[in-house]
Structure 1
Amino acid sequence: MGRLLLDTSRVSYEVAVNPVPKLDPQGQQKFDRETKAPMWAVELYALSEGAAEVIKVTVVSPTMPAVTVRQPVNPVELEAMPWFNERDGKARHGVAFRAMGLTPLDTAAA
């Protein structure tokens, strides 16, 4: 199945929670299977006309994204990854978000 890349042109993004290393259950930083790059967890405000929500995004990058709370950013190759699991007879599902980077936007030029 191909990647489900999102059109980010009509949505603005702002850092809600600073990036931190994405950890496995043993407390070790996770690495991407394909690129072998470290993974970082960040929460973004996603703001579009008439709607807003906070999304958790896994960023795959050799270095922690150099962004801070309230900073406008553009997610690079933002991908939606629907998921489903069943445990103890209970079905759970959702959408995970992943990006290959976060590009800070220059607000001084606006």
Structure 2
Amino acid sequence: MGRLLLDTSKVSYEVAVNPVPKLDQTGQQKFDRGTKAPMWAVQLYALAEGSAEVINVTVVSPTMPAVTVRQPVVPVDLEALPWVNDRDGKVRSGVAFRASALTALDTAAA
């Protein structure tokens, strides 16, 4: 199955919560299986015409994204990852979001 890359051109993104290491159940930082790069968790406001949503994005990058709350950003290679979890007869599903980087926008130039 191919990657589900999202068109970010009609949506603006702003950092809602500063990036933190993405942790596993034991409290250790997670690493990407393929690239071995560390994973970072960040919440973004996704603002489109007539709607807004907070999304959790995992950024796979050797360094923590250098972005801060309220900073406009562009997610690089933003990918949607549908998931289903069946635990003890309770089925949960959703969409996880992943990016290879967050590019900060220069607000002074706007």
Question: Same fold per TM (> 0.5)?
Answer: yes
Whether 1:6 and 2:2 are equivalent positions in the alignment is: no
- The one-letter amino acid paired with 1:96 is A
TM-score, scaled relative to structure 1: 0.99
Q: 1:85: how far off? A: 1.2
5+ residue gaps in structure 2? none
5+ residue gaps in structure 1? none
Rounded to whole Å, the distance in 2 between the matches of 1:49 and 1:97 is 20
Please list the CA deviations of residues 57-78 of structure 1 after superposition, one character each: whole Å capped at 9, or x if unmatched.
Answer: 0000000000000000000000
Rounded to whole Å, the distance in 2 between the matches of 1:74 and 1:35 is 22
Aligned residue pair count = 110
State the partner residue of 1:95.
95
Secondary structure of the structure 2 residue equivalent to 1:30? coil
State the partner residue of 1:42.
42
- The one-letter amino acid paired with 1:23 is L
State the partner residue of 2:17.
17
State the percentage of identical aligned residues.
84
- The one-letter amino acid paired with 1:49 is E
Secondary structure of the structure 2 residue equivalent to 1:108? helix
Spell out the pairing of 1:14-93 with structure 2 (5 A cutoff). 14-93=14-93
Please list the CA deviations of residues 21-46 of structure 1 after superposition, one character each: whole Å capped at 9, or x if unmatched.
Answer: 00000110000011110000000000
TM-score, scaled relative to structure 2: 0.99
Secondary structure of the structure 2 residue equivalent to 1:55? strand
Secondary structure of the structure 1 residue equivalent to 2:43? strand
